[in-house]
Amino acid sequence: MTVCATVRISMPARHIASEVTLLRERISISRSRRASVNANSAPAADNEDGFPLRGRKLKLLDISKMIEPKSDQQNFDDYLAGDRIVTISEVRKGNAEQPVELHLAEYPGRPYKPGKSMRRVLVAAWGADASKYVGRRLHLYGDPDVKFGGQSVGGIRIRAMSHIPGPARVNLTVTRGKREPFEVLPLASVEDAAEWLRAASSVPELQAAWGRVQQAGIVDPDLVALKDERKAALSGSN
């Protein structure tokens, strides 16, 4: 005959009350922590691309400088952010592959090395004596359709040039046996800008002329002095 006995372990009432109180405190702390996490992780308003923004709103950050390639010359990638108006400070002889180096006042140590097509444009517009190029200006832009080995790799082309009386057209080879006209426009000179300022007959016209100077990328201290002189004269005549 087997006898089963039940052993009951009793706990004093004060111990039970202590355990219940401790359990309640732990539950309360856990709930508080969850509420704090939920409040901090509440989604902010979406940005213009539809992605949620968290934390503070970011200030405008221009990253165009961060994509500039590290190189010893001007590259197509340099012009992804926009065109450039440059001033030739020196012309040097390069190597067999890139025989001409146009050093630029705005970008020391990073010359523009034109390809064969743009060298033809330079000779057609300015002549073969490259020593005369110093001080002249070019409006350069990036053309993604420039090809090398039959593939579009992108390249730098000339949009406008100073020291030409009008648009210049040169027939350039597009593919073997096919040529197309390429046009460059005249780029305003310091003398042109001075004429714009002198032609203004009122302060609003002077402001418009100065805006034209800035748009053309012409920087010259004499022009600033001329603008201030014309402004004083026009303001005094009103």
Q: Provide the number of structural domains found in the chain.
A: 2
> Do 181 and 215 sit in the same domain of this protein?
no
Average pLDDT, the chain: 81
pLDDT given for residue 216 in this prediction: 80
Rounded to an integer, the average pLDDT of 57-61 is 68
Three-state secondary-structure class, residue 96: coil
- Same-domain check for residues 145 and 173: yes
pLDDT of residue 54: 55
Q: Is 56 exposed, middle or buried (0-12, 13-18, 19+ CB in 10 A)?
A: exposed
pLDDT of residue 149: 67
Of 29-33, 34-38, 43-47, 48-52, the range with the highest mean pLDDT is 29-33
Q: What is the pLDDT of residues 159-201, one digit of tens each?
A: 999 999 889 999 998 777 788 899 999 998 888 899 999 999 9
pLDDT higher than threshold 50 for residue 9: no
Q: What is the pLDDT of residues 98-154, one digit of tens each?
A: 999 999 999 999 999 999 999 999 999 999 999 999 999 999 999 888 876 677 778
Q: Residue 167 belongs to what domain range?
A: 70-186
As a whole number of angstroms, the distance between CA 42 and CA 77 comes to: 40
Cα 201 to Cα 67, 121, 150, 208, 236, distances in angstroms: 44, 38, 54, 11, 12
**Of 186, 209, 226, which one is at a domain's C-terminal end?**
186
Does residue 212 fall inside a structural domain?
yes
Looking at 186, 206, 226, which one is the last position of a domain?
186
Task: For residue 67, name the pLDDT band (cuts at 50, 70, 90).
Answer: low
- Tell me, what's the pLDDT at 70? 59
pLDDT (mean) for 6-26:
59
34, pLDDT greater than 70: no
Average pLDDT over residues 4-22: 56
Averaged over 47-65, what is the pLDDT? 60
pLDDT at res. 104: 97
Of 47-51, 82-86, 123-127, 173-177, the range with the lowest mean pLDDT is 47-51
What is the band of 60 on the pLDDT scale with cuts at 50, 70, 90?
confident
Pair (137, 216) in one structural domain? no
The answer to whether residues 75 and 146 belong to one domain is yes
| DSSP structure string for 169-221 | EEEEEEETTEEEEEEEEEPP-HHHHHHHHHH--SHHHHHHHHHHHHHTT---H
Is residue 4 domain-resident? no
Q: Which comes out higher in pLDDT, residue 5 or 36? A: 36
66 pLDDT band, cuts 50/70/90, is low
Q: How far apart are CA 34 and CA 32, in angstroms?
A: 6
The tokens for 33 are 């922590």
Residues 143 and 216 in one domain: no
Q: Choose among 235, 231, 196: nearest CA to 212.
A: 196
Do 90 and 175 share a domain, yes or no?
A: yes
